[in-house]
Chains A and B, each alone.
Chain A
Amino acid sequence: MGAVSPREARMVRVQGEEVLTASLTQLRSRARETGKTVRETAVGSLNLGVWPVSLSRNAPLFTAPEQARLLSARAAVAGCGGLGGFLASLLARAGVGALTLVDGDVFDEGNLNRQAFCFRDSLGREKALEAARACQAVHPFTEAAAVRTVLTPDNALDVLKGADIVLDGLDSVPARFAVHRAARELGAPFIHGAVLGWSGQTATFLPGSSIGLDAVYPVPEDAPDPPGVLAPAVAVVAALQCQEALRILAGRPAANADRLVFFDGESHTLHRMELAPAGARS
């Protein structure tokens, strides 16, 4: 069996709860014995109630079967710059098993103030590749695919296929529309995120909803003069998007479907509003 059984597991206490855990060495060794991957072995173990040690602090916030679902899932992150970099990092740390990380750009000095995977020695390097490498360096069972392309209406469906959820880390409104359309066609939830200066917003669009991105952006065009972007605002929005993605991938109801959450970074307040279909507005 491609799993570490409860009899082989070690009991530890996490926040007062007893949790059965398997070490990385145990998981790797069982994977080798059974010809399974470490990810498959970790999923098999979770289904028996045994947590990889590196994810044991997620218990009891998720049940073991929920964590197994996260580990079996593929999330696509569109854009690997500001929002996308934080998104990829948070998803990987939480134990989402497979990531498709898409960006056609390379890091430049202007990214250093806010992009999680941009360092002085990574200037000029591909954002998607750097994000994938960093995510794979967290847990041994994370599988990251780096796609070096700019998402367009022509390629979005092809690039995002296989994703169970799509997260918006883009900085262009037309590209967001293309990605949202592709997510709908794939039957995958789409979690929008955007940052403006000190503030930002997120909204969740489930497949089949009559409400779309045009409820947020009546005109699918970029603002002519985008304002500056601050790292803390980026991190807050990415965290909200990621929490929502984790809920959905774990099989829980979305917290924010068809709603826009606006984070005002100057007053530290969150505003949540219902979205209406674009045609229904007065």
Chain B
Amino acid sequence: MIYDSPGSHFIFIYHPSVFDGQSYTVFQGKRLTNGEVLAYWGKWIILGERPWIDALARALDPHVEARRIPCVKYDREPSKNLGVEECVMMVYCDRRERDAVWEILAANGARMKAWVTERETMELWRPGSPLLERWMDSRGFDETLREAVRADAKARLGRVFEYPDEEFSPWEQ
């Protein structure tokens, strides 16, 4: 189901069961732990103009419903503050299933094959990372707010790295 809440920078495609509290970070029916997320979870990155990305989202929605794709997230508008000129779509899946997911994307017009692991992304957004600092610069946060954001990033991301056997819990964006 495409879920579009204009208060969020992102538009999502979730299986409806996610709204009942089910996780989408699963492999062969089993919910992934933090350690497994760091080892296997990632996303195909698709770049494009918003109308094309919207059309792609509609084409991918039934595949999310059929649980062939776990989750999709895409930009409402390009993140120009991060130097990106096009909308970015992230098509999440387990690395062990990424080839099957890529076939769906390729059948719907995706060409650039770019895979990013969740571990890389989390490292980019850890406290003190250049990307997090740049994002806070672009938002004009003062030092108090910056400290709060760093603390939040430490709490959320730190837990993933420090408790590998705990079930992974995604957070709202």
Asked if B6 and A146 sit within 8 Å, CB to CB, the answer is no
Query: How many B residues touch the partner, as a band?
Result: 20 to 34
Instruction: Give a binary string over B65-80; 1 marks a CB under 8 Å from any A CB, 0 the rest.
Output: 1100000000000000
**Interface status of A162 (Cβ within 8 A of chain B):** yes
Q: Determine, out of B31-39, B54-62, B128-136, the stretch whose residues face the partner at the interface.
A: B54-62
Asked if A38 and B62 sit within 8 Å, CB to CB, the answer is yes
CB < 8 Å neighbour of A145 from B4, B51, B63: B4
CB < 8 Å neighbour of B61 from A35, A145, A155: A145
Given contacts A129-B19, A149-B6, contact A162 B62 (CB under 8 A): no
A52 and B51 CA atoms in complex are apart in Å by 32
A145 and B135 CA atoms in complex are apart in Å by 30
Given contacts A133-B19, A162-B58, contact A145 B2 (CB under 8 A): yes
A144 and B61 CA atoms in complex are apart in Å by 9
B1 to chain A: which residues have CB within 8 Å?
132-133, 136, 144-146
A40 to chain B: which residues have CB within 8 Å?
62
CB < 8 Å neighbour of A155 from B6, B58, B63: B6
By secondary structure, the B interface counts as helix
Asked if B5 and A98 sit within 8 Å, CB to CB, the answer is no
**Interface status of B3 (Cβ within 8 A of chain A):** yes
Determine how close the nearest CB of chain B comes to the CB of A36; give it in whole angstroms: 9
**Interface status of B107 (Cβ within 8 A of chain A):** yes
CB < 8 Å neighbour of A39 from B7, B19, B62, B103: B62
**Interface status of A58 (Cβ within 8 A of chain B):** no
Asked if A37 and B66 sit within 8 Å, CB to CB, the answer is yes
A38 and B7 CA atoms in complex are apart in Å by 32
Interface set, chain A 22-79, CB cutoff 8 A to B? 31, 35, 37-40
**Interface status of A143 (Cβ within 8 A of chain B):** yes
**Interface status of B164 (Cβ within 8 A of chain A):** no
Asked if A143 and B65 sit within 8 Å, CB to CB, the answer is yes
A39 to chain B: which residues have CB within 8 Å?
62
B51 to chain A: which residues have CB within 8 Å?
161
A162 and B7 CA atoms in complex are apart in Å by 21
CB < 8 Å neighbour of A129 from B3, B7, B54, B61: B3
Residue from B2, B51, B54, B61 having most chain A Cβ neighbours under 10 A = B2
A159 and B76 CA atoms in complex are apart in Å by 12
A148 and B7 CA atoms in complex are apart in Å by 9
Q: Select from chain B the residue with minimum beta-carbon distance to A137.
A: B16
B58 to chain A: which residues have CB within 8 Å?
98, 143, 145, 162
Given contacts A35-B107, A133-B19, A136-B16, contact A147 B62 (CB under 8 A): no
Binding site for B on A (CB under 8 A): 31, 35, 37-40, 98, 126, 129, 132-133, 136-137, 140, 143-149, 155, 159, 161-162
12 contacts between A and B (CB under 8 A): A31-B66, A37-B62, A38-B66, A129-B19, A132-B1, A136-B16, A136-B65, A145-B4, A145-B61, A146-B2, A148-B5, A155-B6
